[in-house]
Amino acid sequence: MTTLLLPPARLLLRLLERLWLVAVLAAGWWFVSADSTSVYFPALSAIWDALVSGITSGTIRTDVTYSLTNIVLGLVLATIVGTALGILIGELERLRQVLDPFLQFVRSVPQSALIPIVIGALGIGQAPKIYMIAFACVWPVLLNTIDGVRAIAPEVRDMAKAYQIPHSLRLRRMVLPAAMPQIMAGVRVSLAVGVVVMVVSEIFSATVGIGHFINTAGSVFDISAAWAGTLVVGALGYLLSLAFIVVEKAMLGWYFKSAGASSGGATTRTRGKATK
């Protein structure tokens, strides 16, 4: 954000500094692969052509729309369910203790192991994929929400009690915002998990989607198209994480600003625990 305030020359320099390496690598790839005869590593120009034709005349646009719909819906579903359940479990200490071993176990199951079962059982439609993404994404959100709720400072809870804040208001205006930094940390993890599950579910069995695009291209030995699809997935992942940062900034404006303003304002015990 400070970059915007810089004079144009400095700004340009900054941009150059950030972009040169990627540009050099891309250029290197372009020229080194220019007269590649390898089937597996086609020339970047060929990949580029495959990408352009995939976008203009092929299915890439529909595929990307399909995949994006799945990941967004799955993630939103997971966030809503995970936050609601997380607040419930975090608020009820006894319930949390009872559920703890189950949560620990389910969380440890590699989500990728469930994909063949769920897809095999529910079919290859869009809904099973969304549920699968939501199911994989719900755990990081849930566990982070629980931790976030439990980390609310005792002073804050005392305050709510002393001022007799009613339940619904307390949950809405106090517990939810206090846990929000950790909830967002969970959503960020979920986003990464979700993109993987999205791709995997489409590779595993689908008739549309960017994962399906790569898979079919690979199975008919259209390697350039497979590489092009892979690059699209990379771009998709990057754009989704950018979008996440925008959302996070919007949701947690107070948090980032207060962290910058003072060491105080810590209404929960250190958000850093999110990864630690």
Is residue 10 close enough to count as binding another protein by CB under 8 A? Answer: no
CB atoms within 10 A of CB 147: 21
Q: Is 159 in the site for another protein (CB under 8 A)?
A: yes
Q: Does 180 bind another protein (CB under 8 A)?
A: yes
Nearer to another protein, 84 or 273 (CB): 273
Q: Are 252 and 180 in contact (CB under 8 A)?
A: yes
Question: Which residue among 12, 19, 32, 127 contacts another protein (CB under 8 A)?
Answer: 19
8 binds another protein (CB under 8 A): no
* # of chain residues touching another protein (CB under 8 A): 110
* 154 lines the binding site for another protein (CB under 8 A): yes
| Min separation Cβ 67 and another protein, Å | 11
Q: According to the binding rule CB under 8 A, does residue 256 interact with another protein?
A: no
Q: Which of residues 20-49 bind another protein (CB under 8 A)?
A: 20-22, 25, 40-41
C-alpha to C-alpha distance for 269 and 178, rounded to whole angstroms: 10
Q: Is 63 in the site for another protein (CB under 8 A)?
A: no
Q: Binding another protein by CB under 8 A: which of 131, 188, 206, 209? A: 188
Which value, in Å, is the radius of gyration of the alpha carbons in the chain?
A: 23
Stretch that binds another protein, among 27-35, 54-62, 76-84, 263-271 (CB under 8 A): 263-271
Task: Determine which residue in the list 130, 179, 199, 206 makes contact with another protein, applying CB under 8 A.
Answer: 199
Q: How many angstroms separate the CA atoms of 148 and 252, rounded?
A: 14
